[in-house]
A and B are shown apart, each in its own frame.
Chain A
Amino acid sequence: MMISTLQGWNIEKAPTGLTVAARYMPIKVVTIDVWIATGSAREDDATNGISHFLEHMLFKGTSRFGVGELDRHIMQLGGVWNAGTSMDFTHYYVTVAAPYFHDALDAIADMIQHATIDPEEFEKERLVILEEYRRKQDDPWGWLFDELYRLTYEKGPYRRSVIGTFDSITRLTREVMVDYYRRTYTADATTILVVGDVDPDAATQEAFHFFSGMARNENPWPDPAREVAFHRGTRLVVPRDVHESYLALSFPGPGIENAREVIALDLLTTILGGGRSSRLIQRLREDLQLVEDVGMSFSTHKAPGMTYGYAVLERKNLDSAIGEFMHTLQSLPQKPPTDAELAKAKRILRNDFYYATETTSGQSSVMGYYMTLTGSEDFYHRYLALVESTSSRDLLETAEKYLLDHDPVILAAVPNTAESHAPGDLQ
């Protein structure tokens, strides 16, 4: 058993690979957050959406809890629970008053290890997921970012939408799902976070006890090719039933194993588009009034992630806004981040980290995310030190590598009115 007790965390890893991280917080609730290192990045075209579909099916009952009984049980405890599926992970979390820790742990452990995936419920849930798909298609930002990922990655695990396509959701079978479940929800892919009013050591042992049925993976689900290639220069403007125009631009980025570059991009995108005083807001919104909102961020993934900008604007300003956005980026070598800008960005990231970890579920989310993506707690513990040690030169080097020599993918949703004709250089 490997044990670590950094900064109040009790972290233990069993010989099976199952990891438990627990931390006391002086707050009268406890969050149990179970992270499985699988998501849409493990899928291919035929199985696209299976991770998300499976996440839904886990709520539909186990050998001990019939359909709906798990939900009723957690509600009876006064608990709040849910789950989320992404590209590199799926996680299930429940928050309850501290006295109900054991009951909640028992329920979530049973759900994750012994889901029935009932055939009849499988077909009913397919209809629910198709409704979720339709809902996302109607949401301008939801649609835009799914499309942006698809257009950004020429190759690699992040081309596909987490929810799947209408066609793939329609074709997924229960047999394939059961196989996927058995070969991905295994001890070595699982990290359990317990945060709140508990004794971390005792909580850790209880977590190991309730998850003792999980074994190491002897027959892993095949990983699709993880080689990543980015598209350049694709441009697409899509008329939709919207009153506003929505714009997104994407660039490459590093994977999380390159921690220094990840932090540098976090700082750089904060300086460029991370607040009311950022360069893009000041230039495009306040000075030129080309956009109503603009920002920039970096999506950290296990494999190379995506750096992106976004804006809300009037249709007529689309070309000018794109031009100014690119000009702001391209002028970085002549106008490198100042000491004041860097200090401000560091303060913003530091405080965002504090604010994000104010709640039990916030702590478990941040720690669970980094542990699942990197396989260790190091990134979480080193995050603030890495932020502090990053220099303006690091930022410029990272910009040169990922942003300055790259023709971005540009995607916009515009009102489908008569005046929303295609602009000069976009089609």
Chain B
Amino acid sequence: MNAPQYPMEQTLAQGTRCLFLPCDSNNIVAVTAFFPYGSVFEEPTQAGITDFTWRCLLRGTQKRSQAEYAEAVESLGSSISFRAGRDFSMASLVCTSDCLIPSLELFLEALEMPRFDPAEIEKERQTTLAAIREELDDKPSFAMRTFTATLFSNTTYGIPVNGTLESVKSFDQKQVEMLYHRIACWNHAVVVCVGNFNPGEVVAQLEDSARKTCEQPPPSYPSPCYSRGQNLEIRRAWEQSYLVIGFPACPITHRDYFPLRVLAGVLGEGMSSRFFVRLREEKGLAYATSCQLAAYRCGGYLAGTIGTKPESLDEAQELMLRILSDICQEKLPDTELERTKNYLIGKYLIGHQKNSARAFFLGSYEMLGLGWQIDEEYPRRLKSVTAEDVLEVAQQYLNSPTVIQIRPQG
């Protein structure tokens, strides 16, 4: 079997769109089902309920208890996980080819016939609360939670995917079950399968067992409301301070996305980026500094981050702001532009080695409204970005920064 370049598309009887990419370079199969529901649709008081609902599906089915289900999956050496993202949710299966059929059966069993035992929901709540507390203990995660909540005024993309300590405590069984019936619908799903498998067998199993559909269409994506130019200082008893400087960005479908992608690369991706060279290599202010571009279906952000000793925080902030200002003043030199584009393209391709990664990219682009074909076009689109494009988006987006400072207590 030779690996085809493009996935085969098929729409099943229940309306599920499937993308199949068979390849025999190894004996691993990744199956990911994408559903168009994420935390972006949640009210702040219900923050995290989509993710919570998906996770409850692994807490027992109508056929098996939580323990029996976990035992069955792990006895096959397979991995099944369900989780929400900002714009969409994913149910993922990774297994070896010889166990695909029984693994897929278990995967569909959880999606089709969850038990929703109140005692199990309570256990999942405690696990989720612990995971949130762990995020609050992790400096970069805590800083980015704070930044997105501030930039998006605690709505849309500012809602933490796993919720807040307050919201998670309020979920009840009825809410979870109601949401499940709305979101786990195969007529809205895209299933991507990559690896060493027989598409006919997968189609037969999905048509036989993936039955739940709903007539109500998925909701329309809301437009985010940005709160620009905010300044927030937080005190924690940590040795190191942390800084986030960020701005609203465009949706991933917007024409500015690829120039912004290059801009983020120039600023803070890789060891030749401006933040890395000027803040770390020249000044020794940090071990980790980066620029992140998060582009979602209806909005996003670009944010620079740095962890530095408390007495260097002001210097780091001044320097990061100067770098951001400089990049708005003049076009990038050709060498820097080409180098950054090469790096981003190389990183993109290297990131496609795992079957699960290829499934993720194809399905995500479908959910984000770009279509799976963008996966193939992505390197070319990056390559076509010019220095003028980067200057234009820098001038348009890099103003009125929102600044989060985390400083030591006392």
A140 to B236, CA, bound (A): 14
4 A-B pairs with least C-beta separation = A78-B346, A127-B284, A292-B130, A351-B77
**Docked-complex contact A292 and B127, CB < 8 angstroms:** yes
Q: Indicate whether A312 sits within 8 Å of B74 (C-beta atoms), given known contacts A71-B270, A76-B339, A78-B342.
A: no
Tell me, yes or no, whether A106 is within 8 Å of chain B by CB.
Answer: no
A residues near B75, Cβ cutoff 8 Å: 277, 340, 343-344, 347
**Docked-complex contact B353 and A29, CB < 8 angstroms:** yes
**Docked-complex contact B346 and A77, CB < 8 angstroms:** yes
Tell me, yes or no, whether B105 is within 8 Å of chain A by CB.
Answer: no
Beta-carbon contacts of B203-240 to A below 8 Å, as 1s and 0s?
A: 00000000000000000000000000000000011111
A132 to B289, CA, bound (A): 11
Chain A positions 264-314 with a Cβ under 8 Å from a chain B Cβ: 275-277, 282, 285-286, 289, 292-293, 312-313
Please tell me which stretch of B25-33, B43-51, B177-185 contacts chain A, meaning at least 4 of its Cβ atoms lie within 8 angstroms of it. Answer: B25-33
What size tier do the contact residues of chain B reach? 35 or more
Kindly name the residue among A72, A130, A293 whose own CB sees the greatest number of chain B CB atoms within 10 A: A72
**Docked-complex contact B342 and A75, CB < 8 angstroms:** yes
A359 to B131, CA, bound (A): 29
B residues near A25, Cβ cutoff 8 Å: 25
Tell me, yes or no, whether B71 is within 8 Å of chain A by CB.
Answer: yes
Chain B: CB-nearest residue to A314? B130
A72 to B271, CA, bound (A): 8
**Docked-complex contact A292 and B126, CB < 8 angstroms:** yes
A363 to B353, CA, bound (A): 12
B residues near A276, Cβ cutoff 8 Å: 58, 66, 70, 73-74
B residues near A351, Cβ cutoff 8 Å: 77-78, 95-96
**Docked-complex contact A75 and B339, CB < 8 angstroms:** yes
Tell me, yes or no, whether A125 is within 8 Å of chain B by CB.
Answer: yes
Tell me, yes or no, whether A350 is within 8 Å of chain B by CB.
Answer: yes
A124 to B272, CA, bound (A): 16
Q: Indicate whether A131 sits within 8 Å of B285 (C-beta atoms), given known contacts A72-B272, A76-B338, A358-B28.
A: yes
Tell me, yes or no, whether A404 is within 8 Å of chain B by CB.
Answer: no
Chain A: CB-nearest residue to B341? A78
28 intermolecular pairs with C-beta atoms under 8 Å apart: A68-B281, A75-B339, A75-B340, A78-B342, A80-B350, A95-B350, A124-B281, A124-B283, A127-B285, A128-B286, A131-B240, A131-B288, A134-B240, A134-B307, A135-B139, A140-B137, A242-B137, A277-B70, A285-B123, A289-B123, A313-B130, A350-B77, A354-B26, A354-B96, A355-B28, A355-B94, A359-B353, A416-B237
**Docked-complex contact A275 and B74, CB < 8 angstroms:** yes
Beta-carbon contacts of B268-297 to A below 8 Å, as 1s and 0s?
A: 001110000100111111111000000000
Chain B: CB-nearest residue to A276? B70
B residues near A131, Cβ cutoff 8 Å: 240, 284-288, 307-309
**Docked-complex contact B130 and A293, CB < 8 angstroms:** yes
Beta-carbon contacts of A318-351 to B below 8 Å, as 1s and 0s?
A: 0000000000000000000000100110011011
A residues near B137, Cβ cutoff 8 Å: 140, 241-244
**Docked-complex contact B288 and A80, CB < 8 angstroms:** no
Tell me, yes or no, whether A59 is within 8 Å of chain B by CB.
Answer: yes
Chain A: CB-nearest residue to B76? A347
Tell me, yes or no, whether B92 is within 8 Å of chain A by CB.
Answer: no
**Docked-complex contact B288 and A354, CB < 8 angstroms:** no
- A76 touches which one: B67, B76, B271, B342 (CB < 8 A)? B342
Tell me, yes or no, whether A67 is within 8 Å of chain B by CB.
Answer: yes
**Docked-complex contact A344 and B71, CB < 8 angstroms:** yes
Chain A positions 68-84 with a Cβ under 8 Å from a chain B Cβ: 68, 71-72, 75-80
**Docked-complex contact A75 and B286, CB < 8 angstroms:** no
Closest chain A CB from B275 CB (angstroms): 13
**Docked-complex contact B134 and A312, CB < 8 angstroms:** yes
A416 to B237, CA, bound (A): 10
A residues near B66, Cβ cutoff 8 Å: 276, 286
| 7 more CB-based (< 8 A) A-B contacts, given A76-B339, A126-B284 | A75-B339, A131-B309, A242-B133, A277-B74, A347-B76, A351-B96, A358-B355
Tell me, yes or no, whether B343 is within 8 Å of chain A by CB.
Answer: yes
Closest chain A CB from B109 CB (angstroms): 15
Closest chain B CB from A206 CB (angstroms): 20
